[in-house]
């Protein structure tokens, strides 16, 4: 399960990767870029691509993690397909809050305290991660606990039963995932049958410095 995220590219790069229209109004995705982030922990605000407002292609920074509106509720960073489709507080996000978080890779933390894994695509590039979110751009207030969580399926084989792989889609399937016209049932089929398989990923050990808050440099994704 992703514990830290890498987002280092421009808004234009992420919009182009998923196939958003970047030519009609190129200025729409120019500027406003974040500094490169190599260590985005839960609670941080990465870019999220979505069509949550009138079906328009949009990009916003949205909090990593979702906390149900209950006293003492824990933060969810990732949920399985079956859980997301049936559970209270998640069903509506599956129906109406599907989005994509673009990343270059993520850190997996082994339960035995050994060096973290860094996971990226075999050929590099941008991972288009399927997420569900409680964020609604037409509601200006930032509600407590609002955010997003990964949809997960399968494992990478780190020897940890919780090393669930995010559902990562092709650009075409990512657009279908975000499409408001895609039903909850069709979205389920996308997540189950179109996610990239485990052999599409490359993982290697990296420094434990990624566990330190505030550390942010390229060394966090370098092999050790």
Round to whole Å and give the CA distance between 26 and 17: 14
Count CA atoms closer than 13 A to 23's CA, side-chain side.
1
Round to whole Å and give the CA distance between 137 and 134: 10
Round to whole Å and give the CA distance between 208 and 205: 9
Span 182-224, pLDDT tens digits: 999 999 999 999 999 888 999 999 999 999 988 999 999 999 9
Q: In the prediction, which pLDDT does 155 show?
A: 65
Q: Which position has the higher pLDDT, 154 or 57?
A: 57
Span 88-132, pLDDT tens digits: 999 999 999 999 999 999 999 988 889 999 999 999 999 999 999
CATH number at residue 67: 3.90.1680.10
In this structure, are residues 165 and 153 in contact, taking their beta carbons and an 8 Å threshold? yes
Span 155-192, pLDDT tens digits: 665 555 456 789 999 999 999 999 999 999 999 999 99
Q: Which residues form the domain of 77?
A: 4-221
The total of structural domains in the chain comes to: 1
Q: How large is the angle between the packed helices 171-178 and 11-18, nearest 10 degrees?
A: 90
Q: Which structure tokens are listed for 141?
A: 């207030």
């Amino acid at each position: 399960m992703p514990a830290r995220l890498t987002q280092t590219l421009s808004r234009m790069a992420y919009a182009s990767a998923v196939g958003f229209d970047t030519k009609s109004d190129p200025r729409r995705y120019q500027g406003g870029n974040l500094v490169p982030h190599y260590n985005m922990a839960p609670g941080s605000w990465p870019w999220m691509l979505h069509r949550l407002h009138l079906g328009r292609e949009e990009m916003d920074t949205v909090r990593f993690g979702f906390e149900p509106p209950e006293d003492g509720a824990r933060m969810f960073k990732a949920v399985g397909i079956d859980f997301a489709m049936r559970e209270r507080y998640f069903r509506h996000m599956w129906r109406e809050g599907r989005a994509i978080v673009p990343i270059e890779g993520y850190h997996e933390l082994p339960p035995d305290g050994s060096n973290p894994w860094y996971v990226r695509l075999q050929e590099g590039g941008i991972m288009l991660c399927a997420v569900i979110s409680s964020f609604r751009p037409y509601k200006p207030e930032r509600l407590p606990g609002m955010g997003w969580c990964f949809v997960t399926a399968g494992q990478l084989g780190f020897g940890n039963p919780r090393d669930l792989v995010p559902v990562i889609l092709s650009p075409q399937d990512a657009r279908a995932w975000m499409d408001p016209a895609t039903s909850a049932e069709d979205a389920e089929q996308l997540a189950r049958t179109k996610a990239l398989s485990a052999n599409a990923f490359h993982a290697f050990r990296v420094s434990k410095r990624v566990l330190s808050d505030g550390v942010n440099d390229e060394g966090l994704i370098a092999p050790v």
